[in-house]
A = this chain, B = another copy of it.
Amino acid sequence: MIASQVASLSLPDLARQTRQAARKLATLPAEAKNQAIEAIAQALEVAAPEILAANAADCEAAQTAGISSSLYARLKLDESKLKAAIAGVRDVGRLADPVGQVQIHRELDQGLVMKRVSCPLGVLGVIFEARPDAVMQISSLAIKSGNGVILKGGQEAVRSCEALVRAIHTGLAQTEIDPAVVQLLTTREETLELLKLDQYVDLIIPRGSNSFVRFVQDNTRIPVLGHADGICHLYVDKGADIRKAVAIAVDSKTQYPAACNAIETLLVHKDIASEFLLGATSALQAKNVELRGDDRTRAILNIAAATEADWSTEYSDLILSIKVVDDLAAAIDHINTYGSRHTEAIATEDPKAAAQFLAEVDAAGVYQNCSTRFADGFRYGFGAEVGISTQKMPPRGPVGLEGLVTYKYEITGDGHIAATYAGPDAKPFTHRDL
């Protein structure tokens, strides 16, 4: 019923409907939102056979069309993956409500009181690739944060996404929340149209390749929460503990090389270069990492040459470039020149060197003696990750529910007017925090 209604609406009308529904959702207390999330989880459980059948049809079509094995792996939804995703929905229900938090509470003058209170953004536009499990995760995060959401999934996953959204609507229909808070777009043309809807959509979250994120940023006036490249470094200082540094290098490169928080370049202080590199090389090569070095590295190791292009390349693969640097300042300079401001680490036992690195490196994450792979919302204790932002303005780095809310200033007075506080006889403000 709902799906067919939606199909007959133009995209702006659909977005307006979502905004209307989201306005009601925005004012609901945490309990109502948590009940709705539980209703969604139950409806997904009931609809599991239907969802799995839809996914099987998507998978069959995808195989016929010959999609890549990695895309297929993301598309495929089996019973255990669906169960885990539903458990994830319930996890979101247990997170603290990000809405209604009083950030500032201040008396401006007697009887004139200001509160800054967190509130939902409004409507999110989320564009993602094949993975249908994103539908469940994003819908629950949107509802928890009091926002409507317009989802645009990959074409390959269209049957799965439709079955999932149908179940979500069935669940929401049992609750106070209008099912129109969650909408699904299914055609590629709608992506561009969505990016133009700045009147109804408050934040775009693109989940996909770097080039896709950049395309989105260049084609919308709506704020975008997304990261472009992840070019991360590990700098092995002359004060490093070699054993720790090798373990961190191996983990940062190989624990999940396709991740944006994996390192692409190793910077090594000249005084420790021989000792460290001879130790690290065997450990890295044992994990099948291809090494490329600058001239000073190649004077120590018999590896291929790194070119200028290597310093600004995100390999997303088992490849690592290595450069020997004169000192800490040269390492910081290299990182601030070539890094993508994502996550940067120093291995050192020298607290002064660490402090300088953490202060001077310009990145969302600056680490001492640990792997860059810790850059993640779950690992930071945010409970859920909306995305990782490499923009400099907040929200920056791994973003939890906090990235889906904003705030408003509420002031209550008793007939207070500004003229009282202006001119030669201006009354002073009290500005007393309560």
A393 to B414, CA, bound (A): 30
Q: A23-B336, A393-B121 are in contact. Are A251 and B411 (CB under 8 A)?
A: no
A411 to B406, CA, bound (A): 26
The prevalent SS among residues of A at the interface is mixed
Chain B CB within 8 A of A415 CB: yes
Please give, as numbers and ranges, the residues of chain B lying within 8 Å of A352 by CB-CB distance: none
Stretch binding the partner chain, chosen from A40-48, A169-177, A319-327, A358-366: A358-366
Chain B CB within 8 A of A269 CB: no
Evaluate contact between B244 and A415: CB separation under 8 angstroms: yes
Chain B CB within 8 A of A412 CB: yes
A369 to B202, CA, bound (A): 29
Closest to A380 in B: B114
Chain B CB within 8 A of A125 CB: no
A252 to B251, CA, bound (A): 60
Bits for A365-402, please: 1 = Cβ < 8 Å to B, else 0. 11111110111000111000000000111101110000
The one of B108, B122, B394 that contacts A380, using a Cβ cutoff of 8 Å: B108
Please give, as numbers and ranges, the residues of chain B lying within 8 Å of A358 by CB-CB distance: 410
- The oligomer's copy count stands at 2
The one of B26, B251, B406, B422 that contacts A418, using a Cβ cutoff of 8 Å: B251
Please give, as numbers and ranges, the residues of chain B lying within 8 Å of A241 by CB-CB distance: 415
Please give, as numbers and ranges, the residues of chain B lying within 8 Å of A106 by CB-CB distance: 380-381
Evaluate contact between A406 and B381: CB separation under 8 angstroms: no
A429 to B112, CA, bound (A): 44
Closest to A121 in B: B392
Evaluate contact between A413 and B218: CB separation under 8 angstroms: no
Please give, as numbers and ranges, the residues of chain B lying within 8 Å of A381 by CB-CB distance: 106, 108, 429, 431
User: Shortest beta-carbon distance, A254 to chain B, in Å?
Assistant: 9
Q: A359-B27, A362-B23, A406-B396 are in contact. Are A413 and B367 (CB under 8 A)?
A: yes
A398 to B360, CA, bound (A): 30
Bits for A98-112, please: 1 = Cβ < 8 Å to B, else 0. 000000001010001
Q: A364-B409, A406-B393 are in contact. Are A417 and B251 (CB under 8 A)?
A: yes
Evaluate contact between A414 and B369: CB separation under 8 angstroms: yes
Chain B CB within 8 A of A408 CB: yes
A186 to B161, CA, bound (A): 54
A373 to B417, CA, bound (A): 8
Evaluate contact between B369 and A416: CB separation under 8 angstroms: yes
Chain B CB within 8 A of A57 CB: no
Please give, as numbers and ranges, the residues of chain B lying within 8 Å of A413 by CB-CB distance: 367-370, 374
Chain B CB within 8 A of A212 CB: no
Chain B CB within 8 A of A248 CB: yes
Question: Can you list 15 contacts pairing A with B, beta carbon distance less than 8 Å?
Answer: A23-B336, A23-B360, A23-B362, A26-B359, A106-B381, A108-B380, A121-B392, A202-B393, A250-B417, A256-B418, A363-B408, A366-B411, A367-B411, A373-B418, A381-B431
Given contacts A223-B393, A371-B417, A379-B418, 9 further A-B contacts (CB under 8 A): A243-B415, A244-B414, A247-B417, A366-B411, A368-B412, A370-B417, A375-B409, A396-B406, A397-B409
